[in-house]
Structure 1
């Protein structure tokens, strides 16, 4: 080969390396912008014969390590059936994928079906009536432990039985510890905690346990650590968390490091099974890569045990963690897993909604193809949707336009409270139905959307109830038209500034009619992790109610 050709080849290789580095930077930027998602994209290299892409939805805590492994896999130019295989990895809450596979989320709800799923626990697979057939073994493990402030570790019961007894008051004593769980409807750690409680408590005591801990349930594992604030308080805080979460917390916040208590009566582990939903070319190649030494090294570096339960070498040198494997409980069967999850839902699930309805002048416009005005259509659909809510749903109602109450753009029509509760001589349900029937547009009213939404979210955050899903439900047919109110940028900034992941209040916006500014509404909803729907006909609104309810299972990572 001539010198000129050798020099040309070196330049080409340098260009390829620079291109790969540039793509890596772009990938990190995408992950930073999207926040809840991690993407592994391939370097742009020549690929004759086309490309096949494998979409992998991975439990958020494992997703960064899987993403890094996928990046290495993509860079190796694997091929299947004559095509280059490229893997994309996204962080996805396991509840959303499980709801999708079980048919709870409608096909049109905007939740993407993955080719590969790595949930945090195989318990999700046992809850499915028709689990995927191609379920591999675990990629990693993380046993459930009790995390406590180090100053209180010596006084913490050393068994789950002791912890559960200490967390539940009775007629003779108050509870000695405040046990916090991750939401069992959204996390494998939460489900595992419930199953341990059921095993230790039995049927009669389980209901009492569920009622006693529902107020201290966090949305996810990361949110549990918020319960450690004010560690001198009584009762003492105890978190049921995966061991890896202790590793991650102590690494990020060593000043507030916690101790992992490994229950002597045994525990369950998160096991991160590699699950093939759609056996596309290349999925088996990727699975083999994730079971290789390089990927296992990435998982250990992130604080996970290997599939056999062996701890990362760093655990032996890390205070607060133990390298030896804990005692293991028997794995629960599918029937017990489903029953326990269903019982928790019946005992604890509640909704708390503030309905905010636009009554500006444009709501008097007719709905094409019907005899209804826009406001009448929304009121009619809301009345039908109300019939679907149980009596223990907390609901309040506001209406808004401009200057409805002095200089204020909104007015309360029904105060917040349970639908079955009474307001004077009638139930709140009856009062809301009556208020809906009496809605009238304000003829000269504009749309004071931004300050109304801000006040509604602030109210729901101020009066937050942790045992309920707290939502602001906004009905509008247009965009903000209040020159005296805040700008969109200021409103979004204020919503973000007040956001607390341990006390989430989401905005669900239903835009009705052809004048809706979807981009504007989406910015408002995104600032709270909420969602936007558009309706063209009254029947669309009831469908949207169902979709919005289904998406609660996977928010905010849908």
Structure 2
């Protein structure tokens, strides 16, 4: 395979449009119809072959096959590569790029000119997920695959092509020396759940973190706590831990070490922490610059330590020129060379292909010491949180920290009586009710939740009924009970209406308008609508008119995203997604109503990202 195996019929970046409106995601296989789409797909397949050769087989193999050229003579015009990287790894990447530039390393005869810009991972992920602007970079190296999932958004974001990982670093608990002694460091180990329990007891452990909505380190640690905490009241305990942590969060990872009580004189200060969630690499960087008495001590939880994996992605590769995409492949391959690995290790990173392996000197500098299990970076379920768990954790964090105001709208049409396969005769409504009751346990007393149901002509000429007003779950109601108990009972009473059809559009508009009128500043306001069908009320507002009304009524200062969940095979996810995204929300599909709890939390995560992007837009 030679130079012409990757044809490029499109203009270079200066004339090409990237990002906005693109479809597809990781894998970069999306493309248009017709001959142009075919060329894009063929080019992506060809580039994927180069990635396999360059990454799996090494740069040497790729060079022997004529894919990557080397030599002192080069054309400076075509080797420019713009890389956006996580702030912690950007200095190491710049050092590597400078060395390559000094050596006049080439890609296809062009001098490789890599320009590295540091940007906060959450900002990049949100920008790619919403596709608001054309990306001004060719490669993205985040600190965690968490951000890749976030960048997917609801499926409308900028496509990314994965090329493997660059480095790794375990997520740990970093403590001040005095707190380390109290915790029995280094001989005593703790699970995530034990550490969370200590943080929940007044006076035991002041625990801090970077905001999990902006920090993969904070989010992975919180997910570790979630999977490690067991028992009938586990949801409540996890939410309590998140609430306590929210009072001691920093905006960025870089600010976290400064919150520790490293000076004995600061031990009594209420704004100082005894311990923080921190990556091994961040602790390494801190300790390398301080004296021994202010060095951090690292605890590696015994039930598994998740890791930052620094994934390497080509950004909207279909819109890159051949020179740009091949330079990106070239740089990825060179990051696996011994010289580059030495630079990464010098900056405190472990290798990507052997994430548990680290030199003793790296661990000692970072503050680790045997018998802490630092060589088992990903052992145990708490060390390998799934993407679903990550999304649930972030959704839980959003509603726990910000508090939520949700109007829940449930389809009560006759089709909700249909049995769910594999559920022992339970109907769609039965499983939906159980999932909603389970989801309600994730919410705190300060969260506000209400309930509507809908079919056709359910209340006179109206397709909907307001069953329970939207109010704080902890507020008292008649009979000496709480709003939470009343809502639980109302969920349990939900039943399909025999012969009722799906009055979706009028209900959607009415629920959304009421939620907007009742908007509470400072809370996450949203409407959650669940339906197993498409609109069947022929007398209702039409789809185009509904979207037009939502657009006209939307107020950026009072955002109320619509989270629409299509339940079962007969629901039209594309229809509700198009409607929901008009409000900053999205549509989702579940084959089994039991998945509703998970999807609600994932949807809250995505809607929260969209709201943050809108708030930060120029």
Q: Per-residue CA shift, 1:101-158, capped at 9, x if unaligned?
A: 211x622xxx844211111111112332558553233211111111111122132262
- For 1:143, what is the secondary structure of its paired residue? strand
1:84 CA drift (Å): 3.4
C-alpha contact 2:191 2:302 (8 A) present in aligned 1: yes
1:116 and 2:139 correspond: yes
1:281 CA drift (Å): 2.6
Tell which deviates more after alignment, 134-143 or 187-196. 134-143
Residues 1:264 and 1:296: Cα distance change in structure 2 (over 3 Å): same
For 2:401 and 2:99, the matched residues in 1 are separated by 44
C-alpha contact 1:63 1:90 (8 A) present in aligned 2: yes
Query: Residue 200 of structure 1: which of 228, 237, 240 is its match?
Result: 228
Residues 1:326 and 1:256: Cα distance change in structure 2 (over 3 Å): same
Structure 2 residue aligned with 1:261: 299
1:185 CA drift (Å): 1.5
Where do residues 85-234 of structure 1 align in structure 2 (5 Å cutoff)?
A: 85-103=112-130, 106-107=132-133, 112-127=135-150, 128=152, 129-130=154-155, 132=159, 134-156=161-183, 158-169=190-201, 174-201=202-229, 202-229=234-261, 230-232=266-268
Structure 1 residue aligned with 2:396: 343
For 1:147 and 1:238, the matched residues in 2 are separated by 5
Where do residues 496-515 of structure 1 align in structure 2 (5 Å cutoff)?
A: none
C-alpha contact 2:169 2:279 (8 A) present in aligned 1: yes
Structure 2 residue aligned with 1:310: 357
For 2:349 and 2:614, the matched residues in 1 are separated by 30
Residues 1:550 and 1:133: Cα distance change in structure 2 (over 3 Å): closer
Structure 2 residue aligned with 1:239: 276
Question: What's the C-alpha RMSD, in Å, of the aligned pairs?
Answer: 3.4
For 1:178 and 1:289, the matched residues in 2 are separated by 43
Structure 2 residue aligned with 1:275: 313
Structure 2 residue aligned with 1:69: 96
Residues 1:143 and 1:390: Cα distance change in structure 2 (over 3 Å): farther
Q: Per-residue CA shift, 1:13-64, capped at 9, x if unaligned?
A: xxxxxxxxxxxxxxxxxxxxxxxxxxxxxxxx98437323211111101000
Segments of structure 1 that go 5 or more residues without pairing to the other structure are: 1-44, 352-386, 395-545
Segments of structure 2 that go 5 or more residues without pairing to the other structure are: 1-71, 184-188, 318-324, 405-515, 524-608
For 2:267 and 2:79, the matched residues in 1 are separated by 52
Structure 2 residue aligned with 1:39: none
For 2:82 and 2:136, the matched residues in 1 are separated by 9
For 1:190 and 1:64, the matched residues in 2 are separated by 22
For 2:250 and 2:175, the matched residues in 1 are separated by 16
Tell which deviates more after alignment, 114-123 or 155-164. 155-164
Residues 1:547 and 1:332: Cα distance change in structure 2 (over 3 Å): closer
- For 2:112, what is the secondary structure of its paired residue? strand
Q: Per-residue CA shift, 1:360-419, capped at 9, x if unaligned?
A: xxxxxxxxxxxxxxxxxxxxxxxxxxx79952439xxxxxxxxxxxxxxxxxxxxxxxxx
C-alpha contact 2:191 2:228 (8 A) present in aligned 1: no
Structure 2 residue aligned with 1:252: 289
Structure 2 residue aligned with 1:291: 336
C-alpha contact 1:52 1:281 (8 A) present in aligned 2: no
Q: Per-residue CA shift, 1:152-197, capped at 9, x if unaligned?
A: 213226222211001114xxxx351111111112111111122112
Structure 2 residue aligned with 1:550: 613
C-alpha contact 1:47 1:84 (8 A) present in aligned 2: yes
Return the TM-score normalized by structure 2: 0.47
1:391 and 2:525 correspond: no
Structure 2 residue aligned with 1:466: none
For 2:282 and 2:308, the matched residues in 1 are separated by 11
Residues 1:290 and 1:49: Cα distance change in structure 2 (over 3 Å): closer
C-alpha contact 1:179 1:238 (8 A) present in aligned 2: yes
Q: Per-residue CA shift, 1:497-545, capped at 9, x if unaligned?
A: xxxxxxxxxxxxxxxxxxxxxxxxxxxxxxxxxxxxxxxxxxxxxxxxx
Return the TM-score normalized by structure 1: 0.52
Where do residues 316-395 of structure 1 align in structure 2 (5 Å cutoff)?
A: 318=365, 320-322=367-369, 324-327=374-377, 328-330=379-381, 331-349=384-402, 390-393=519-522
Q: Per-residue CA shift, 1:426-451, capped at 9, x if unaligned?
A: xxxxxxxxxxxxxxxxxxxxxxxxxx
For 1:319 and 1:345, the matched residues in 2 are separated by 31
Q: Per-residue CA shift, 1:255-274, capped at 9, x if unaligned?
A: 42121111112110111111
Residues 1:238 and 1:284: Cα distance change in structure 2 (over 3 Å): same
For 2:280 and 2:252, the matched residues in 1 are separated by 14
Q: Per-residue CA shift, 1:243-265, capped at 9, x if unaligned?
A: 11111111122242121111112
Where do residues 460-475 of structure 1 align in structure 2 (5 Å cutoff)?
A: none
C-alpha contact 1:58 1:117 (8 A) present in aligned 2: yes
For 1:203 and 1:251, the matched residues in 2 are separated by 39
Residues 1:233 and 1:548: Cα distance change in structure 2 (over 3 Å): closer
